[in-house]
Structures are given as C-alpha cells and as structure tokens.
Structure 1
C-alpha cells in the first residue's frame, strides 16, 4: 500500500465519519421537531376543551344557583390550566413546563369531577339538550386529547431513546440536546372518574 492510498483511505474515513455525525445532528433535530409538532396537536385539543368549559358552566349556572363555589372552582382551574398550557407550548418537553401543565390539568380534572358529582343531584340539568351537547363535545375532545398525548409521548420516547444510544449520546450535548424531553402524563382517568365511596 502506498502513501497515496493511505491518504485517500484516511480522507474517505474522515468524510464518512463527518457524514455520520451530520446524520446524528439531523436526526436529533427531526425527532425534536416531531415531538414539538405532536405537542401542538395537544395544544389545539386542550384549547378546544378550555373553550367548551365556560359553555358547560354557563349551561349549568341556571340549575346550580346554590353551587356557585363549585362553578367558580371549575373556571379558576380552567384559567390556571390555560396559562400552564401557554407556558408548556413555549417549551414543549421542558420538565418544569410539563410538570406545571400536568398539575394544572389534574386540578382541572378534579374540579370537573366535583362539578359532575354535583350535577348528579339535578336530573333536569342532566336531561337538558344543551348540557348533553356540551358534555358530548367535551367527552369527544378529551378523547382527542388522550390520543394526541399518546402521540406526543411516543415522539418524546423516540427522541430520548435516540439521544441516549451510542454514539449519539456523545454528540447530543454538543448539538444542544443535553436535557431529555419530559413525558406528559395526566392522572389516570379511572382514578379521576371513580366515585367516592360512602359508608353509613
């Protein structure tokens, strides 16, 4: 083997290594953009949910005249969740933003559950056409939120797994991908929807 062949071999090896490092960078960017896009879908559905909640409260207001505190807690939790969503949308995958959104969503779910329990005592309200329509839209939207959240979490996992594998783990920090993205997990709906047990 002569010197020219050795130099050509070294140049080819450096070029291939360079292309491989570039491919790692591109894949990290692609995976990050995918989970950001997936979060945008959650944002759309949560905003729709937040827009429906005042309609639900307004419909219930006429029937629940003596339950003002319950209605106010729903609106307060909705406003808090809306603010947390705005912060999370600015930094999808960020641990603090996701934790804030998860906490706000869990409080909103708890307030909504309390309102549903109060509504059980008002059969006329449950039978109201407007209430049935708004409730149906809310249920549909919550299902869409669950699907969007699953898609987001799948993309976050793909991103985290790739950046933790060898050799991307050596380049992730250098390329600005030091922190893992955080999953978005709300309280288990079965826990939220479980009726309290009363014993006499």
Structure 2
C-alpha cells in the first residue's frame, strides 16, 4: 500500500473513532437526562403519596368542601398518569410539557385545599395536618431542585446534539432535541403557597 493509501486509512480510522466518541457522548448525556428525571420521579412519587393522607385528614374537618377535596384527588390521578408517560420517555418534549401541565393543576388544587384549610381552626391545629403540610413543602423544594438538575442535563445534551460536528452523528442516529421542564404558571402563581397553622 502506498503512503497515500495509508493516509486515507488513517483519516477513515480517525473519522470512525470520532463518530464512535460522539455517539457514545450523546448516549451518555441522554442517559443522564433519564437519571435526572428519575430523581424528579422519586420526589413526585413522594408528593403523590402525601396527597391522599393530606386529603383524608382534611376530609374529617371539611365535609362540606367535597369539591375541593375531589379536585385534589382528580389532579393527583392526572399527574400520576402524566408522570408515568414521562418516566417512559423523559426526553420527549410533548410528554414533558404534559407533565408540567398536570403538575400545575395538582399544585393549584393543593394550594386551594391549603387555603380552604386556613378557615378551619381545628384542622390548622391538627398535628397530622401540620406534619403532612411540612412534608409537602419539603417535597416541593426537592422537586424544584430535581427539576433544575434535569433542565441542566437537558441543556447539556441539547448543546452537544447541535454542536458541529457532533450534530452529524446526532441527526444520523436520531438524537432529537430533549424538552425542558418549564413552568406553565404565571408569575403570581409561581409563588409557593404559604402554609400557616
């Protein structure tokens, strides 16, 4: 083989090695997105597990507020379904947006429940309700941190998938843009509900 032939083989080998490294890097980043969503999912499950207990404690005191309690239960069911879809496809923008909307509805109904609970002095003094409310606030904070970590991983992945020359490998092997978890709430709604018992 001539020198030119060896040079062509070396160039081809370099391109193959680069393509393999780019592919593996994209796979690693996509897996990091899945891991970051897994952290969100753990906190969402914690929240979903707290909601029925919170509703049950409130139900004893707020018998005539059935509509508020039912709204929380319905929103929890919708959010559970959206979380299951997102768990299966954490990088899909449409699925992540559906989860954000379901979480917004759940957060709104929980906020209304806690606001209504303010009118019931016996409920405000209930130790179980206090404990559950504190757990809910703690969980909301954890969800916020997990969402931030998820969005950081999505940003890193999306940057890698559109950076030249890695974009060639990304498009060739179907590494589509991942969706960020964005809030769908207005500025006024973004404020965490204040719980005071």
TM-score normalised by L of structure 1: 0.91
Equivalent position of 1:20 in the other structure? 18
**Larger radius of gyration, structure 1 or 2?**
1
The superposition leaves residues 140-179 of structure 1 with CA deviations (integer Å, 9 ceiling, x where unpaired) of 11111111111111000000011111011122121121x2
The superposition leaves residues 57-81 of structure 1 with CA deviations (integer Å, 9 ceiling, x where unpaired) of 0111111111011000001101110
In the TM superposition, 1:52-71 aligns within 5 A as 52-71=50-69
Number of residue pairs matched by the alignment? 192
CA RMSD, 1 decimal: 1.6
Partners in 1 of 2:192 and 2:15 — Cα distance?
56
The answer to whether the aligner puts 1:156 opposite 2:154 as a matched pair is: yes
Distance 1:66 1:193, change over 3 A: farther
The superposition leaves residues 67-106 of structure 1 with CA deviations (integer Å, 9 ceiling, x where unpaired) of 0110000011011100110011111021221111111111
Q: Secondary structure at the match of 1:176?
A: coil
Equivalent position of 1:31 in the other structure? 29
Q: Secondary structure at the match of 1:62?
A: helix
Q: CA deviation at 1:14?
A: 1.4
In the TM superposition, 1:67-106 aligns within 5 A as 67-106=65-104
The answer to whether the aligner puts 1:185 opposite 2:182 as a matched pair is: yes
In structure 2, stretches of 5+ residues that fail to align are none
Q: CA deviation at 1:12?
A: 1.4
- Residues 81 and 104 of structure 1 are in contact (CA less than 8 Å); yes or no, is this contact kept in structure 2? yes
Partners in 2 of 1:193 and 1:77 — Cα distance?
19
Within the candidate set 16, 21, 46, 1:48 is matched to 46
In structure 1, stretches of 5+ residues that fail to align are 196-200
Equivalent position of 2:167 in the other structure? 169
- Residues 113 and 193 of structure 1 are in contact (CA less than 8 Å); yes or no, is this contact kept in structure 2? no
Q: CA deviation at 1:123?
A: 2.0
Q: CA deviation at 1:116?
A: 1.3
